[in-house]
Structure 1
Amino acid sequence: MSTDTSSQDILVHTEAAVTTITFNRVDKKNSITEAMYAAMADALVAAQADAAVRVVVFQGDMAIFSAGNDIADFLRQSAQGGQQAAAQDAGEPSVWRFLRALAAFPKPLVAAVCGPAVGIGTTLLLHCDLVYAGDNAAFSLPFVNLGLCPEAASSLLLPQMLGYHRAAEALLLGEPFMAEAALEVGLVNRVVPPAECNLLAQTQAKKLAAKPLSALIETKRLMKAGQSAAVRARMDEEGASFARLMAGPAAREAFSAFMDKRHPDFSKC
C-alpha cells in the first residue's frame, strides 16, 4: 500500500514504511520556498506520528539536490526587515519549523544527494543518519558570501564532523567541495554514480524499515543524547543572528547583486 501527499514543488510518497520527500522544482534548481519548507515540516510531523512509517528519505534530481533557499524569498524577508527566526510562537517562519522538526526527528533519516547541494541543501544532511552521494555531488555553504551566518546548528556540527580548520574553510570561504571530499570527512556514507544514488538510498531505507522501530529509535536517541540540547540552543542562537544579519546592508547588497547578476560590493559592509 502506498500514499501520496504531493504539491507541485515537494513530492511526499509513502510506501512499505518509507516516506520519501522529493525536491521537485528542478527548473528553479530545487531552490526552496517558504511553502516548500512548510510542506516538508508537515511531512516530518506526519511521519513521526504515523506508527506505520519507520524511515524518511530526502532526495532530489540526478542533476541537482537543492540550490538552497530561494533568493526571492530572502529578498522579500530582507525588505521586511528580517524575520524573528528564533520565535517560538505558531507564526514562526516555516524554514525554522522544518529545521526543528528535522533535528528532533526520532526515526532514521536517509538522504540521496546528486549535483549541487547549497546552503540548507548541505546543512540538512548533518541531521540525517545515512547520506549517499552521486559522484557529481558538490556541497557548499555560502552563508558568509550572502552576508549571513550558518543555520541548522551547522556552526556546531560541522566543526565536530570536519574539524575546526576544515569547517572554517567551508563556512568562511563558502567554496564547494566535492563528493569524495565529503566522503573523506564523513559527511556521506558512500559515493556512487548519480543514476544509482536514489535507488541505493531506497534500498538502505528498506533495510532499516525491516528492523524493530523501537530499537532504531532508542539507538538514534542514545547516539544523539549528548548533543540534542546543544543543537537546539545553537539553532536558536543562529536563528537570532541570521535574522539580524538578513536585515543588514551586507545581505541586502548580496541579494541585490545576485538578482542583478553582478558581483557584490561589500566594501562598505
Structure 2
Amino acid sequence: MTDAILLQRERGLLTLQLNRPDKKNALTRAMYTQLAEALERADADATLNAVLIQGSHECFTAGNDIGDFLDQPPSDLDSPPFHFMQSLFNCRKPVVAAVAGPAIGIGTTLLLHCDLVYISRDARLRMPFVNLGLCPEFGSSLILPRLLGHAKAAQLLLLGEAFSGEQAAAWGIATEALSSGDAALAKAREVALRFEHLALGAVQVTKQLMKSVDREQLRQVIEEEGALFTQRLRSPEAIAALSGFITRR
C-alpha cells in the first residue's frame, strides 16, 4: 500500500497522485492518512507553493474502499477519513485538482474544498451516500444547496444522481471542463505550476479571505456530518446496503 499515493515535487509544486488502478483508486484508511500527512507537511513547507491532487487520466477515485470501511469503520472525528478532511480544510496553500473518469463520494465532495478544479467533460461524479444508507459528508449538505439551490442539491444528495464533468463546470463545482482526461491533467499541472511565479504570502492571504465567510459554520457542519456519518455506518440500513454492495462486486 506504500505506493497507493505517489508524491512528486516539481518547481514548488507537490503532486499527490492516487495510484491504486486495480481498485479504481478506492481510498483506504492508510491512503487517507498518507494524504492528510502530505497536506500537513506541504502546508508547513516554505519551499512549496501549491498542491495538486490527481488520479490517472482514466479514473480519479471510486470513493471509499467499502471492504476497508466495513472492516474498521471510522468511529470518531480523529479517524483517517476525517483527518484527511481536516487537513484539506485547513490547508493554506492553494490546492488544485485534476479529475477524469469516476469521482464518487469523497471523490466529489473533496472538490468542494479545492481552489481550482480541472475536469474531463465525460467525468462521472456521484454522491451515493443515501443509496448506501449513509448521509452527506465534508460539508456537502451546506455547500451544495448554497451553490446550486435546494432542488438541484436534493437531486444530487437525496437521489444520489450522477452528473458529468461538463455539468460540474457549469454549476461551479469545477473550474473548467476539458476534452479528455489527459487534457484535464495537463491543464491542472500547468495552472498549479503558475503559483511558482506568484507571491506566496499574497496567495495565502487571498485564499484566507475568500474562505473566511461562514468558515466556522462550515467547520461545525463538517463535524456534525461526521458524527452522524459514523452513527449511520452502524445502522442496519447502512450495514445491509454496504454488505450488498460488496456481494454484488
Could you say whether these structures have the same fold, taking a TM-score greater than 0.5 normalized by the shorter chain as the test? yes
Deviations 1:82-132 (A, max 9, x none): 53323xxxxx21111110010111110100000010000000000000000
> 8 Å contact 1:85–1:242 — kept in the other structure?
no
Deviation at 1:7, TM superposition (A): 2.8
Of the three residues 10, 13, 30, the one matched with 1:15 is 10
- For 1:1-269, what aligned pairs fall within 5 Å after superposition? 7-77=2-72, 82-86=73-77, 92-192=78-178, 193-261=180-248
What SS is found at the alignment partner of 2:158? helix
Deviation at 1:243, TM superposition (A): 0.7
Deviation at 1:53, TM superposition (A): 0.5
> 8 Å contact 2:111–2:117 — kept in the other structure?
yes
Q: TM-score, normalised by structure 1?
A: 0.90
Among all aligned residue pairs of Structure 1 and Structure 2, give the percentage whose two residues are the same amino acid.
Answer: 44
What SS is found at the alignment partner of 1:191? strand
Number of aligned positions between the proteins = 248
Runs of 4 or more off by more than 3 Å in structure 1? none
Gaps of 5+ in 2: none
Deviation at 1:50, TM superposition (A): 0.3
Aligned-residue CA RMSD (Å):
1.3
What SS is found at the alignment partner of 2:75? coil
Gaps of 5+ in 1: 1-5, 87-91, 263-269
Corresponding position of 1:3: none
What SS is found at the alignment partner of 2:53? strand
In 1: Cα distance, 2:183 partner to 2:129 partner = 30
What SS is found at the alignment partner of 2:136? coil
